[in-house]
Amino acid sequence: MKHKKKILFFALSTPLLLALFALLAILFIPRGYDKLRERPGTVEIPAALKESVIKGTESMTAEEISSYCSDITCDLLSFSFKQDVLFENEVSRAHCVTYARLHSSLCNIAFKAHDIDAEAVPIVCHMHVCGLNINTIIVSMLPQEYRRFFIDHDMVEIRKKSDKRVILATDPAEHDLSGFERNY
């Protein structure tokens, strides 16, 4: 009987410990990215959403606009390896490429409307945790059919338009999956 209680305790506590470790990792472990290239392409935003973004971002800084647009992106998308047609459903399934494109398109609408010297650019990168390339680590552990999803990652750089200096980099897909918005 004692043995069964230990197994039950372990079975119940392991997921909680893993979730706690993941939360601590998201919040405190040093992370970064290596930009490989920019990702071309934008998302056509419906007129009603454009108006909402313009009104909702009045008097905001570039950083605040990025955060605002990240929240909208998370509301409109649900992470998946399968893609839906955007705006066809209330929430569309998407992967990191679409998250980055939607977020940058929303930000650029607000930057242009409010004459802010900033631009949002989707980028392809490798993610690092404690100096280790996690894309390479994950790919090495996955079956062949899933590797293409983790070879690299898409996120967004917010840059000064005038001199291309990066103000911040943000990952709306991570924000949606973790519930935390953490800029790089």
Residue 71 CA to residue 7 CA, distance in Å, equals 40
Interval 72-104: pLDDT, tens: 999 999 999 899 999 999 999 999 999 999 999
Hey, what are 11's tokens?
């079975």
- Specify whether the CB–CB gap between 169 and 13 falls below 8 A: no
- Provide the sign of the torsion angle of the four alpha carbons 134, 184, 110, 165, taken in this order: negative
Residue 111 CA to residue 109 CA, distance in Å, equals 6
Residues making up the chain, counted from first to last: 184
Interval 47-62: pLDDT, tens: 999 999 999 999 999 9
Instruction: Looking at 77-133, list the stretches that DSSP marks H as alpha helix, in order from N- to C-terminal side.
Output: 96-113
- For residue 53, the model assigns a pLDDT of 98
Half-sphere exposure of 68 (CA within 13 A, CB side): 22
Residue 150, amino acid: F
Across the range 8-35, mean pLDDT stands at 65
Please state, for a pLDDT cut of 70, what percent of the chain lies above it: 84
- For residue 8, the model assigns a pLDDT of 47
Whether the pTM exceeds 0.85: the reply is no
Instruction: Give CA 58 to chain center in angstroms.
Output: 23
3-class secondary structure, 39: coil
